[in-house]
Chain A
Amino acid sequence: MGRADIGARLRVGTRALVTLLILTAVEVPVAFRVPRPLPWLILLNLADAALIVWYFMHIADLWRPGED
């Protein structure tokens, strides 16, 4: 992996974090202002978890045997 590849991957990580922070910031007003917020909170949390599992934990590597 070259420097350009590292830079590209780091940018992907930064974008994932920004999205996570936005989703978390949305959770608070949803919880306090939306009536019956549970379904919305579950959706937001699932989106958060999916972002982490896909971009940070590289779950797709499980289906790409032999790749680092």
Chain B
Amino acid sequence: MAAHVAAHPRYRRLDLRRLGLWLFLLSEGFLFSALIAARYYLLGLQRPEGLNQPLGLAITVVLLASSLTAYRAETAIAGGDRPLFLRNTLATVALGLLFLAGVGVEWAQAFAHFPPTRPVGTVFFTLTGMHALHVLSGVVLLAGVYLHGRRGRYGPGAFWPVEGAVKYWHFVDVVWVFIYPTLYLVTA
């Protein structure tokens, strides 16, 4: 075992990085689980009135689509196709910004229906706000990856920063997969 590790130190480092990232994402999952649990504690199975259902569905589709572009970016750099990697990373950033714009529109409308001082407002703004903050940090990470990629960094066998940023982006998507029905769809 020791000889194997000594012969492949890069792979061992990569395995540890992956495991560390997954543990970090798991801890983030606990945070969002607590917030989602708080929604059911405060509101039960009541669906908040006044939510913009078409907008909620639209931003969900945007975020799901961004997962495909992120996946394509990672696959492209793993295969050494830099132009495809750059195009898809940029598309992911653009879709992330579009999602944030949609959340901004939803916030503007939501203030009129349920201010943050009411339980439903607390639930809505905390959940969407915390998630939007994670989307924003994902956009910043991917923008950094794009800029480094343009300067020629990353290539087949050496793209851990891309993989890490993309995995984080997918995690943000997974979280929204649960937040969307929790806020917009669930009812008794």
Residues in A lying within 8 Å of B, measured CB to CB:
1-3, 5-6, 9-10, 13-14, 16-17, 20-21, 24, 27-28, 30-32, 36-38, 41, 44-45, 48-49, 52-53, 55-57, 59, 61-62, 65-68
Contact = CB atoms under 8 A, between A and B. Distances in A.
Q: Interface residue tally of chain B, by bracket?
A: 35 or more
B18 A56 contact: no
B124 interface: no
Contacts of B180: 24, 27
A56 B181 contact: no
A52 B157 CA distance: 23
B55 to A, nearest CB: 13
A39 B87 CA distance: 39
Contacts of A52: 67, 170, 173-174, 177
A1 B11 contact: no
Given A17-B64, A49-B174, A66 B186 contact: no
Interface stretch (B68-76, B94-102, B144-152): B68-76
Nearest to B54: A28
Contact of A13 (B14, B71, B84): B71
Nearest to A64: B15
21 contacts: A6-B76, A13-B68, A20-B67, A21-B61, A24-B64, A24-B180, A27-B181, A28-B53, A28-B185, A30-B185, A31-B184, A31-B185, A36-B188, A41-B181, A41-B185, A52-B170, A52-B177, A61-B18, A62-B18, A66-B15, A68-B14
A66 B8 contact: yes
A contact patch SS:
helix
A24 B79 CA distance: 31
B57 A24 contact: yes
Contacts of A49: 174, 177-178
Contacts of B72: 10, 13
Given A31-B186, A38-B45, A49-B177, A2 B157 contact: no
Interface string B55-95: 00100110011011011100110111100100000000000
